[in-house]
Structure 1
Amino acid sequence: MAESVQWVIQRLRQRASTSPLLVMGPNAHLVTLANKNAKFRAALASADLNVPDGISVVLASRLLGLPIPERVPGGELMECLCEECGRFGLSVFFLGGLSDAAAGAAEQLKRRYPSLRIAGCYCPAHGFENDPSELAAIRQLIAEARPDLLCVAFGAPKQEIWMQENCPTLPIGAAISVGAALDTYAGLRKRAPRWTHRVGMEWLYRLIREPRRLWRRYLIGNLQFVILLAGQLAQQVLISLAKASSSIYDYSPKKQILNWKCSNEKVE
């Protein structure tokens, strides 16, 4: 967490000489969405920093031999960034969430960090992504505010796609996808206890509280994630076997046939 915060703040303080930074937080649900949605997959790939907002991603990285040190929850990252923004005199704009969530979250964070500069708050109407005039209004608000940090809470995959399509040409230092964090900080959704974050069970807590809304995401989505992971692991095993057998087998990409080497003779 600390390394991510430090890196983003450093970039914000150098915003005059850098392009807008995109920070996203994939979890198991987002990985399965990206596997089905090419546009969303491209949006995640466009991020300058992808932090693991889910224990499943951390565990999967270890199984795949590319270990990620820790989980970085989007809401906690947002709060840490707001704290540091207040410390360095940087401004923050809150965009999205439920009705009044942006303003409510801004008020709560300002109360915790009095030196935090609020550049603006806005919650667009439902279906704004299909309304050219509303999209233009959002861009205009942000262009006038010129925030250092833009917190985007449209929900996935909407927020990531919007960030990819809009943020590179907006006068901002960085944009971070925060999902339901604005709703939580505004008090419109109950926040999961911190112990659930530590043990990686926040998803279960949320599922118990909102089963009708989240059962498909966590039960079916997590199963799909496990299947994707199993496929990646199987692929790694097959590649390892192929490499280990390179002295025996010769793979011909053109002929797509397997030649067996024995006593310096090839038998097809």
Structure 2
Amino acid sequence: MDFKKYKLFLPEYAAVDYDKASDIIVANAASNKSYAVSALAVHGLITSMKDKKLGKIINNIDLIVPDGQPIKWALNSLYNLDLKDRVYGPFLTLKVLEKANTLRLKVYLFGSTSKTIGLFKSFIEKNYPDVILSGIHVDRFREATEEEDLEDIKKINESGAHIVLVGRGCPRQEYWVATHKNKVNSAMMAVGAAFDFHAGVLPQAPEWMQKRGLEWFFRLCQEPKRLWKRYLVTNTLFILEFIGHKFFKRTI
């Protein structure tokens, strides 16, 4: 399926909606193609610009979707696009699971804590009974050794997984899907907070806040000590970058 990509400061975002993105993912998954996906919001975008290691490989990801209203607004403004909505990682996860359920695809869960991944597993079993859960990997919360990584790849491939949902937090999950392309024979989706939200561990912002680009404020209120610096820095840098590109014609 064809789609156009548009560079936003560094990452190249796909101009897709939920249906097209989920169709692309499931089509690649069904044929066990190694395919990397990320739902990249403002924090991930700015991190890719500041973290040279991530910046070098971010565009190895096949499909980067505009997760976050500010991303959508910036793409529409800079490229005169007509994107109707963002492609929010947790909701994209549900769209993919819905289509995977119809096709009885195998899904592997990679990341998060044992509690969260167990609750997420129960959520999938209840709501998508024809999805085959082919494996679970609880995050080590450190990078794997070379031997551990090879064993992880072997387990995923031997499970026959069509889709690997990766919930390791940004930027670890983006780095993982980008560097495991052509190693893991599955569509790999870096979906971050989808694990926590669908497991019921974290509440999601009300829809009216999401549509107005205020989800960051809702999450900040939930976890102020952990997130205040992230949002203060990344949101400010994003605004400055956008102004530079929009009004001072900085090269995109």
Q: Output the amino acid matched with 2:27.
A: Q
CA deviation vs aligned residue, 1:56-84 (integer Å, no higher than 9, x gap): 11111122124233201101111110111
Determine the C-alpha separation between the residues in 2 that align with 1:130 and 1:144: 19
Match of 1:13? 30
Matching of residues 30-45 of structure 1 within 5 Å: 30-45=44-59
CA deviation after TM superposition for structure 1 residue 95, in Å:
0.5
Q: Name the SS for the 1:75 alignment partner.
A: helix
Q: Name the SS for the 1:169 alignment partner.
A: coil
CA contact (8 A) 1:103 1:122 kept: no
CA contact (8 A) 2:113 2:139 kept: no
Q: Say which structure, 1 or 2, has more relative contact order (CA 8 Å, 6+ apart).
A: 2
Match of 1:229? 242
Gaps of 5+ in 2: 1-17
CA deviation after TM superposition for structure 1 residue 211, in Å:
0.8
CA deviation after TM superposition for structure 1 residue 233, in Å:
1.8
Match of 2:161? 147
How many residue pairs match? The answer is: 233
Q: Output the amino acid matched with 2:107.
A: V
Matching of residues 82-231 of structure 1 within 5 Å: 82-127=97-142, 129-172=143-186, 174-231=187-244
CA deviation after TM superposition for structure 1 residue 190, in Å:
2.2
Going from structure 1 to structure 2, the CA distance change for 1:62 and 1:99 (only over 3 Å counts) comes to same
User: Over aligned residue pairs, what C-alpha RMSD do you find?
Assistant: 1.9
CA contact (8 A) 1:100 1:123 kept: no
CA contact (8 A) 2:37 2:177 kept: no
CA deviation after TM superposition for structure 1 residue 3, in Å:
1.5
Going from structure 1 to structure 2, the CA distance change for 1:48 and 1:66 (only over 3 Å counts) comes to farther
Larger radius of gyration: 1
Determine the C-alpha separation between the residues in 2 that align with 1:191 and 1:141: 32
Alignment of 1:3 with 2:16, yes or no, is no
Determine the C-alpha separation between the residues in 1 that align with 2:56 and 2:80: 21
Of all paired residues, the percent bearing the same amino acid is: 26
Match of 1:29? 43
If the length of structure 1 is used for normalisation, what is the TM-score? 0.80
Q: Name the SS for the 2:136 alignment partner.
A: strand
CA contact (8 A) 2:37 2:61 kept: yes
Determine the C-alpha separation between the residues in 1 that align with 2:56 and 2:242: 20
Match of 2:9? none
Match of 1:255? none
CA deviation after TM superposition for structure 1 residue 143, in Å:
2.1
CA deviation vs aligned residue, 1:143-186 (integer Å, no higher than 9, x gap): 221210111111111111111212321222x1110112112222
Q: Name the SS for the 1:58 alignment partner.
A: helix
Gaps of 5+ in 1: 240-268
Match of 2:70? 56
Match of 1:80? 95
Q: Output the amino acid matched with 1:223.
A: T
